[in-house]
């Protein structure tokens, strides 16, 4: 009956047909953008990575795959270090960002917009400046340093190999701190979005069904915020793994990350094929890691 | 796991002077109630009357300003919600979207760490006819199915008290009628105390053993549905629960079982038992379906209460009944419902008629109250 009424109400009109092209038209600007600024450079990069030659003599595509194996074996340590630092920074950002996002979303009340702006506020200054600021913060004359020295935390971190000697700067600790700080908003915002959508009535219902607050968190809040956790960790891990600023400004040669190496090969050593090969390897490694992660976290249904 | 007292140890739900203030607003005002174990109790009132706040205090989701809540011998006034032998069917259902129907229903049992979860869950799923949907997620269910999951999730715990917060509010009329019967059946089967909050007077009357009519944070009247309907104690109860004709009147003479009361023109008789003592200015009330319409302006059975020389001003055909508006000689319009039994003629606007009803069906209320109380609220809520 309902179907009949529907066709009667709109005689001669085939719904959908007229608008069939609209999605493609809407996709067009984005696709063009991606094509010109992502796919084409990727092809250049791939081709570059397989070329031989030098800046002076010019490059020729020789399908020299050895560039990959050579650069990978040479910089395996920097590769691993990048992932290690990125992993630790992501974990720290999650540990800091989750309570922060939770508080803003569920407990802040009228302060919610203010706190949210404060999370985004660092974006108003440049990434570089913010990282440079950390040089000042962790400076040998700084308060943080004083705190670390008087509490003898510095000897602990030194013993663990996180810092070297009598300073905080130029250390793995400083690099990871910088990474954590710089990408914290990318962790906090998706978490906030997830937690803000959480219906507080579900938490009441869990309490009504004999769940203590901690159980409610574990069984309801956390699983329901998994999309935010996944998005936040990806948005933190990926840029942290490829970052080349933090290790440069806050680290030492022993903390060099792969982004820094690529940066050097492109801009200082001018060995384009090696830089391109490293870039490509990095991209692939991240792609694989991310797909495994997303698949294993199994949050498709919640998104 | 939260320890919860066994329902077997508990008895009646008792509220004593329960009060909740939000700032200067008193949502619940000195409510005292005893709800016997195993009964189906309805808190009926318009939105904002404090019924949901009362329920939330029993559930532990809201802290009373003062007063006491006891279940059996145990004072649970300040007990954490997860320690109360109370479960709630929320108006929004509040089903956990990331869990299956089965997991939703098992949630409470798991938290309490009771054994035989599998068996208990399947029994309840059977009772609520959800077995085939056990592995679905809430988003894959219809409104009625979600409602049943919310119910199953609560009753599986065998709480001492089951709270239902407008559980049928989101369903369409047909499904609501069906679920009313269903809920009543389930309550009979499980024998738990149900406290049902609703603004739908028909729903309350269909299901509840006892109804408390709430208004502005207070209980206006409490009793069995038929008792409330036939003997409303206040104009609010008279108007909110069904419809009433209220006519201003004065008591002329009280005999031992019935009293004579003067209407603006003529007199009627009211049983003394339904007349407030020591009050002479009253509202005389009669339900629209109790009134008969007679074709001649001065007819009707002898001994009955009669209003002769009335004029039909509006007649609507409702299928099962005919609804008339009839103007009395003093200009008041009374509502009359007549069953459509195909007897007699259908009156038209302008017809001169006589109204009559049995004096036993007459009630009287203190004229100090607003005759309109509860009318708009009901229309709004319905």
How confident is the model at residue B317, as a pLDDT? 87
Mean pLDDT across the stretch B176-203?
89
- What does residue A141 show for φ and ψ, rounded to 5 degrees? -95, 0
Task: Considering chain B, tell me which residue range(s) the CATH 3.40.50.300 domain(s) occupy.
Answer: 7-230
Mean pLDDT across the stretch B35-44?
93
Give the end-to-end CA distance of chain B in Å, rounded to a whole number. 42
Q: Which of A201, A224, A301 sits opposite B90 (nearest CB)?
A: A201
CB contact under 8 Å between B90 and A205, yes or no, is yes
Q: Which of B88, B94, B98 sits opposite A302 (nearest CB)?
A: B98
CB contact under 8 Å between B92 and A210, yes or no, is no
Q: Which of B61, B137, B153 sits opposite A209 (nearest CB)?
A: B153
| Residue A187 covered by a domain | yes
Q: Is B157 on the interface with A (CB under 8 A)?
A: yes
Name the burial class of residue A240, with classes exposed (0-12), middle (13-18) and buried (19+) by CB atoms within 10 angstroms of its CB: buried
Within 8 A of A215 by CB-CB distance, chain B residues are 111
| Residue A60 covered by a domain | no
Q: Are B18 and B68 in contact (CB under 8 A)?
A: yes
Provide the residue range defining the domain that includes A110: 81-294
Read off the pLDDT of residues B107-129 as tens digits, 9 standing for 90 and up. Answer: 999 999 888 899 999 999 998 88
Chain A positions with Cβ closer than 8 Å to B: 199, 201-202, 204-212, 215, 219-220, 223-224, 301-302
Q: What distance in Å separates the CA atoms of residue A271 and residue A264, rounded to the nearest whole number?
A: 9
Within 8 A of B154 by CB-CB distance, chain A residues are 209
Q: Are B220 and B233 in contact (CB under 8 A)?
A: yes
Label residue B376 by pLDDT band (50, 70, 90).
low
CB contact under 8 Å between A223 and B90, yes or no, is no
Read off the pLDDT of residues B44-66 as tens digits, 9 standing for 90 and up. Answer: 999 889 999 999 999 999 999 99
How confident is the model at residue A106, as a pLDDT? 92
Task: Considering chain B, tell me which residue range(s) the CATH 2.40.50.140 domain(s) occupy.
Answer: 243-368
Q: Is B1 on the interface with A (CB under 8 A)?
A: yes
Nearest CA among A187, A196, A197, A185 for reference residue A118 = A185
How confident is the model at residue A17, as a pLDDT? 59
CATH code, domain carrying A156: 1.10.3720.10
Contacts of B178 (CB under 8 A, 6+ apart): B144
DSSP output for B159-210:
-SEEEEESTTTTS-HHHHHHHHHHHHHHHHHH--EEEEEES-HHHHHHH-SE
Read off the pLDDT of residues A149-173 as tens digits, 9 standing for 90 and up. Answer: 889 888 888 888 888 888 888 999 9
| Residue A48 covered by a domain | no
**Closest approach of A205 to chain B, Cα-based (Å):** 6
State the residue for tokens 């974990």. A91
Q: Is B190 on the interface with A (CB under 8 A)?
A: no
How many other C-beta atoms are found inside a 10 Å radius of the C-beta of residue B272?
Answer: 15
Residue B349 has pLDDT above 80, yes or no: yes
The mean pLDDT of chain A is: 89
> Which stretches of chain A score pLDDT less than 50?
1-11, 301-303
State the residue for tokens 């038992």. B273
CB contact under 8 Å between B94 and A207, yes or no, is no
| Residue A214 covered by a domain | yes
**Closest approach of B363 to chain A, Cα-based (Å):** 43
Within 8 A of A199 by CB-CB distance, chain B residues are 92, 94
What is the ipTM score, two decimals?
0.82
Within 8 A of B90 by CB-CB distance, chain A residues are 201, 204-205, 208
| Residue A194 covered by a domain | yes
Contacts of A278 (CB under 8 A, 6+ apart): A71, A72, A75, A258, A261, A262, A265
Q: How many domains does chain A have?
A: 1
Question: Looking at residue B47, what DSSP letter applies?
Answer: T
The share of chain B scoring above pLDDT 90, in percent, equals 67
Q: Which of A199, A215, A223 sits opposite B111 (nearest CB)?
A: A215
| Superfamily of domain B7-230 in the CATH hierarchy | P-loop containing nucleotide triphosphate hydrolases (3.40.50.300)
Read off the pLDDT of residues B298-332 as tens digits, 9 standing for 90 and up. Answer: 887 888 899 999 999 999 988 888 999 999 999 99
| Residue A113 covered by a domain | yes
Written as six digits, the tokens of B153 are 């999730």
Q: What distance in Å separates the CA atoms of residue A244 and residue B11, rounded to the nearest whole number?
A: 69
Q: Which residue of B has its CA nearest to A212?
A: B82
CB contact under 8 Å between B4 and A210, yes or no, is yes
**Going along A133-250, which residue ranges are E strands?**
none
- Bridge partners of residue B326, in order along the sequence: B312, B334
Name the CATH topology of B243-368: OB fold (Dihydrolipoamide Acetyltransferase, E2P) (2.40.50)
Give the end-to-end CA distance of chain A in Å, rounded to a whole number. 36
Q: Is B111 on the interface with A (CB under 8 A)?
A: yes
Q: Are B352 and B297 in contact (CB under 8 A)?
A: yes
Number of A/B CB contacts below 8 angstroms equals 68
Q: What distance in Å separates the CA atoms of residue B89 and residue B148, rounded to the nearest whole number?
A: 10
| Residue A91 covered by a domain | yes
- Of B381 and B39, more confident: B39
| Residue A98 covered by a domain | yes
Q: Are B160 and B193 in contact (CB under 8 A)?
A: yes
Q: Which residue of A has its CA nearest to B92?
A: A201
Q: Which of A202, A210, A211 sits opposite B94 (nearest CB)?
A: A202
How confident is the model at residue A16, as a pLDDT? 52
Chain A interface, best mutation among B2, B136, B151, B160, by max A CB count within 10 A: B2
How confident is the model at residue B378, as a pLDDT? 47
State the residue for tokens 């409490």. B222
Label residue B371 by pLDDT band (50, 70, 90).
confident
Within 8 A of B80 by CB-CB distance, chain A residues are 207
**Closest approach of A202 to chain B, Cα-based (Å):** 5
How confident is the model at residue B127, as a pLDDT? 87
How confident is the model at residue A9, as a pLDDT? 45
Read off the pLDDT of residues B1-23 as tens digits, 9 standing for 90 and up. Answer: 444 444 444 589 999 999 999 99
How confident is the model at residue A205, as a pLDDT? 96
The share of chain B scoring above pLDDT 70, in percent, equals 95
Within 8 A of B195 by CB-CB distance, chain A residues are none
SS3 B48: coil
Q: What distance in Å separates the CA atoms of residue A167 and residue A163, rounded to the nearest whole number?
A: 7
SS3 B66: strand
How confident is the model at residue B179, as a pLDDT? 84
CB contact under 8 Å between B107 and A223, yes or no, is no
């Amino acid at each position: 009956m309902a179907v009949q009424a529907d066709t009667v109400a709109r005689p001669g009109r085939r719904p959908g047909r007229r608008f069939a092209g609209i999605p493609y038209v809407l996709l067009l600007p984005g696709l063009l953008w991606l094509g010109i600024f992502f796919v084409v450079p990727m092809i250049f990069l791939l081709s570059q990575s397989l070329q031989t030659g030098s800046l002076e003599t010019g490059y020729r595509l020789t399908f020299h795959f050895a560039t990959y194996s050579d650069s990978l074996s040479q910089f395996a340590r920097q590769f691993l270090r990048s992932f290690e630092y990125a992993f630790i920074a992501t974990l720290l950002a999650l540990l800091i960002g989750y309570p922060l996002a939770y508080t803003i979303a569920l407990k802040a009340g009228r302060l919610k917009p203010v706190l949210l702006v404060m999370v985004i506020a660092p974006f108003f200054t440049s990434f570089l400046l913010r990282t440079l600021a950390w040089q000042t913060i962790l400076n040998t004359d700084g308060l943080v340093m004083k705190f670390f020295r008087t509490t003898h935390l510095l000897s602990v971190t030194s013993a663990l190999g996180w810092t070297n000697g009598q300073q905080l700067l130029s250390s793995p600790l400083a690099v990871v701190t910088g990474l954590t700080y710089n990408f914290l908003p990318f962790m906090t915002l998706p978490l906030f979005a997830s937690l803000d959508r959480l219906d507080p009535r579900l938490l009441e219902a869990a309490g009504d069904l004999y769940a203590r607050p901690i159980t409610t968190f574990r069984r309801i809040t956390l699983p329901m915020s998994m999309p935010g956790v996944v998005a936040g960790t990806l948005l933190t891990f990926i840029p942290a793994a490829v970052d080349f600023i933090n290790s440069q400004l806050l680290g030492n040669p022993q903390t060099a990350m792969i982004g820094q190496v690529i940066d050097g090969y492109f801009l200082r050593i001018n060995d384009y094929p090696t830089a391109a090969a490293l870039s490509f390897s990095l991209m692939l490694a991240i792609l694989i890691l991310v797909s495994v992660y997303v698949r294993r976290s199994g949050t498709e249904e919640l998104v | 796991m939260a320890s919860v007292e066994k329902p077997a140890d508990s008895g009646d739900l008792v509220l004593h002077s329960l009060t909740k203030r939000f700032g200067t607003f008193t949502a619940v005002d000195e409510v005292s109630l005893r709800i016997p174990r195993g009964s189906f109790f309805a808190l009926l009132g318009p939105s904002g009357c404090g019924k949901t706040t009362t329920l939330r205090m029993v559930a532990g989701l809201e802290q009373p300003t003062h007063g006491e809540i006891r279940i059996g011998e145990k004072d649970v006034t300040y007990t954490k919600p997860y320690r109360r032998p109370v479960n709630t069917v929320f108006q929004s259902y509040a089903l956990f979207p990331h869990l299956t129907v089965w997991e939703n229903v098992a949630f409470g049992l798991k938290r309490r760490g009771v054994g035989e979860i599998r068996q208990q869950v399947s029994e309840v799923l059977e009772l609520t006819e959800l077995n085939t949907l056990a592995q679905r997620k809430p988003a894959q269910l219809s409104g009625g199915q979600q409602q049943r999951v919310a119910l199953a999730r609560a009753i599986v715990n065998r709480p001492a008290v089951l709270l239902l917060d407008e559980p049928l509010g989101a369903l369409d009329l047909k499904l609501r009628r069906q679920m009313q019967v269903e809920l009543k059946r389930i309550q009979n089967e499980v024998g738990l105390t149900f406290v049902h909050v609703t603004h739908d007077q028909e729903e309350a009357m269909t299901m509840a053993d006892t109804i408390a009519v709430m208004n502005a944070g207070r209980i206006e009247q409490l009793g069995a549905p038929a008792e409330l309907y036939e003997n409303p104690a206040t104009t609010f109860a008279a108007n909110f629960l069904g419809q009433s004709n209220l006519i201003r009147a004065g008591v002329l003479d009280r005999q031992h079982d019935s009293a004579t009361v003067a209407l603006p023109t003529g007199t009627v008789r009211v049983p003394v038992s339904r007349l407030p003592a020591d009050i002479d200015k009253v509202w005389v009330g009669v339900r629209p379906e109790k009134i008969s319409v007679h074709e001649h302006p001065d007819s009707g059975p002898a001994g009955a209460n009669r209003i002769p020389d009335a004029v039909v001003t509006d007649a609507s055909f409702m299928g099962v009944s005919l609804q008339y508006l009839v103007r009395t000689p003093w200009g008041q319009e009374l509502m009359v419902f007549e069953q459509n039994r195909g007897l007699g003629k259908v009156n038209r606007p302008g017809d001169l008629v006589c109204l009559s009803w049995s004096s036993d069906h007459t009630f009287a209320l203190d004229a100090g109250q607003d005759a309109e109380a509860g009318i708009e609220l009901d229309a709004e809520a319905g």
